[in-house]
Structures are given as structure tokens and as C-alpha cells.
Amino acid sequence: MKKVLLVLTVLMFLIACGGVRKTQEAMNRGNYVQAMHRAMDELADNKSRNSRQPYILLLEESFEKHTEQMLSRIAFLEKEDNEANFETIFKSYSDLNNLQENIRPLLPLYIKDENRNAEFAFRDYTDEILTSKGRLSDYLYTKAKSLISDANTKYDFREAYNDLDYLNRINPDYQVSRNLMDEAYMNGIDYVKVNVMNAT
């Protein structure tokens, strides 16, 4: 009986260490989002257990590195001033905001060894999200109108329809003309002529 308990204890310890190791490896490889999600999953079960302490530190460090990386990327894309980057900028700000909202319910996270709470530099990305969504909406609408007016193939109409559909999903209040979407849809359809002959 004692041997069984010893074996089970050792197995549980190895499994617990494996999770921390995989989270650490993900962070070391620059997979910050994966590391944060692993840590948040572990902390959601019971954040106050001693075995969860490494996950708090990993979450704190991964969040800081990921935020810094994303904000640097956004700054580069904005300096590049390419309209094709508007979607990436909008999604990046939205992802940063969503990540903060996923961490918020776990707070406070107390680090026992350092006698402090984990620190997360949360920011309000509302203005950035709204601005980038507006720029993306204008870009998608202008691009779709241009595709429809200059269309050479059905694929141009289909791309315009997809852009307008995406625009409608991210910004339903945008002044998308339903007639414009219908025009893109109708011109993007392939029609097949079928003749049915009765051979009886």
C-alpha cells in the first residue's frame, strides 16, 4: 500500500512539473499566447495552491513580453502607413484587450515567495480599437466599391462581397448599402444551365 501511494505521489509530481515545463518552453520559444493560456487554465482551477505558484510567474512574464511585442509590431505597422495593415492593427488591439479581460477574473494573484501580488500593466485600448475599426471599415468599404466598379471577373465581385460581409460583422452600424452587397452577390454567382431530357 505504501509503495502504491509513493508511486502515485511521484507520478502526480512529474505530471505537475511537466505542465510547468511545457509552459516555460512555450514562453522561451516566444509562444507567449500559448504560455499564457496554459497558465490561465491551470490557475482557473485553484490559484491559491502552492503548486500553481510557477504559473503565476510565467503568466506575469509572458503577459509583459507579449504586450511589448504586440505594441512594437503595431507601432511598426502604423509607421508603415499601409492600408492593408488596418485589419492586423485592429485585430492586434482587440486581442490585447481580450487577453486582459481573460486575466482580470483571476486577479489578485499572490506570489508567496516574493510576498507580493503579480503585476499586470493593463491599458484601456478602447480608443485604439475604435479608431482602427473606423479606419478598417473605411478601407473595406472603399475597396469593395472599387472592386465592384472595376470588376473584370466574378472573383472581383466575390471579393467585394466578402469584404462587405466582413465589414458588416465588425461594424454593423457602418453605412453599408445593402444594394451594394446585393450587387456584389448577384454578379459573383455562377449560373449553370441544365437541360433535362426525358428519354422514356
C-alpha distances (whole Å) from 109 to each of 26, 40, 64, 65 are: 21, 11, 15, 18
Q: Is the pLDDT of residue 130 over 50?
A: yes
Which residues touch 33 (CB under 8 Å, ≥6 apart)? 66, 99
Render pLDDT for 26-59 as a digit per residue (tens, 0 to 9). Answer: 989 999 999 999 999 999 988 889 899 999 999 9
Pair 32, 69: CB distance under 8 Å = yes
Q: Is the pLDDT of residue 8 over 50?
A: no
Q: What is the pLDDT confidence band of residue 189, given thresholds at 50, 70 and 90?
A: confident
Per-position DSSP letters for 142-180, written without gaps between them: HHHHHHHHT--SHHHHHHHHHHHHHHHHH-TTS---HHH
Domain borders along the chain are 1-120, 124-189
Render pLDDT for 149-159 as a digit per residue (tens, 0 to 9). Answer: 998 888 998 99
Pair 188, 148: CB distance under 8 Å = no
Beta pairing, strands 110-111 & 116-117: antiparallel
Q: What's the mean pLDDT in 154-166?
A: 91
Pair 174, 139: CB distance under 8 Å = no
Q: Is the pLDDT of residue 15 over 50?
A: no
Q: What is the pLDDT confidence band of residue 5, given thresholds at 50, 70 and 90?
A: low
Q: Is the pLDDT of residue 160 over 80?
A: yes
Predicted local confidence at residue 106, as pLDDT:
93
